[in-house]
Amino acid sequence: MSAGGGKKAIVAALTANAGIAVAKFVGAVITGSASMMAEAVHSVADTANQGLLLFGQRAAAKDADELHQFGYGRNRYFYSFVVALVLFTLGSVYAIYEGIHKVQHPEELSQPIVAIVILAIAIGLETYSFLTAVRESRPLKGSASWWRFIRNSRSPELPVVLLEDTGALIGLLIAFAAVGLTVLTDDPIYDGIGTLAIGVLLGIIAIVLIVEMKSLLIGESATPDEDRAIRENLVDGTLITSVIHVKSEYIGPEELLVAAKVAIAPDLDIAGIAGAIDAAEMRVRAAVPNARLIYLEPDLYRTL
């Protein structure tokens, strides 16, 4: 994923969530709805998260220096991990706390029609943000399922935005149903139950993001398809006869480090070895553009 493509989805989400947050807060104050307030806090968390993602992209663009000789690409993983923590603490924990309070001490809603109108508008804006993220993700997803895309993507922003927007849409539907049931039954406990459900939903999404971003932050290897392409293109069958072993790690969303030991033809001189290594690097970079750092160690294949 290019930073530019991800930025378009992030900006769309930030714009939508900022507007939604203001509308929800107004609605929560007017109606006294706990589920509306939980959704408002959720939108504030999402807006802050988009800002963190943009800041992470900017921080990752810094040039390498003596202290960080492989660059700052992992900043995008770090700030995406922070996003997951914010979603859990500010979104999930608050909603669960507020939901428990409202179940124990239900309060009547005032002007619930205001909440319904605001939620309907919010669903429209969130749908726009979600569809933008889906459109930006499709070229990268290919034929894989959405879940596999989220699990396998080495770029963090689009999976984060997709999960956030999915959670936001489901949360809005829960809040809509909670307010509707409160009006139909004249029992405000449904508003508290809806708030609890929103909190649990956000907690699940946050935990999925925490697990995925932690894995990226620690360092993930090339995808199975990339690993296969690397191994196939290291070998030319003449000068380089086989791959003894290969290791890889993403040091940034678009920067893959590849280290390999390759078996070379035994009759090559120093110039021939250097030429074979250079040619192998060119083949790998052509097949896997993210493989920007390649270190190859020539050796002779030996059987034990």
pLDDT digits (tens, 9 = 90+) for 25-50: 888 888 887 777 877 887 888 888 88
Mind giving me the DSSP string for 6-39?
HHHHHHHHHHHHHHHHHHHHHHHHHH--HHHHHH
Distance CA 199, CA 99 (A): 8
Residue 3's pLDDT is: 42
CA atoms within 13 A on the CB side of 223: 19
Of the two residues 10 and 278, the one the predictor is more confident about is 278
203 pLDDT above the threshold of 70: yes
Paired tokens of 50: 């988009």
Contact assessment for residue 140 and residue 157, using Cβ atoms and an 8 Å cutoff: no
Distance of CA 298 to the CA centre of its chain: 38
pLDDT band at 302 (very low <50, low <70, confident <90, very high): low
Residue 292, classified by CB atoms within 10 Å of its CB into exposed (0-12), middle (13-18) or buried (19+), is middle
**What does the pLDDT look like over 240-260, one tens digit per residue?**
999 999 999 999 888 999 999
Residue 167's pLDDT is: 86
Residue 303's pLDDT is: 57
Please provide residue 297's backbone torsions phi and psi, each rounded to the nearest 5 degrees. Answer: -110, 115
Distance CA 159, CA 73 (A): 17
Of the two residues 95 and 275, the one the predictor is more confident about is 275
2 pLDDT above the threshold of 50: no
pTM across the whole model: 0.79
Residue 1's pLDDT is: 40
Helix or strand or coil: residue 244? Answer: strand
- Of 265, 266, 267, 249, the C-alpha closest to 257 is 249
Residue 282's pLDDT is: 96
Distance CA 14, CA 9 (A): 9
Residue 98's pLDDT is: 82
- Of 210, 211, 213, the C-alpha closest to 89 is 210
Work out whether strand 293-299 and strand 255-264 pair parallel, antiparallel, or are unpaired: parallel
**What does the pLDDT look like over 139-167, one tens digit per residue?**
888 888 888 888 888 888 888 888 888 88
Please provide residue 296's backbone torsions phi and psi, each rounded to the nearest 5 degrees. Answer: -115, 135
Mean pLDDT of the chain, nearest integer:
87
Across residues 83-90, what is the average pLDDT? 82
Paired tokens of 21: 């947050």
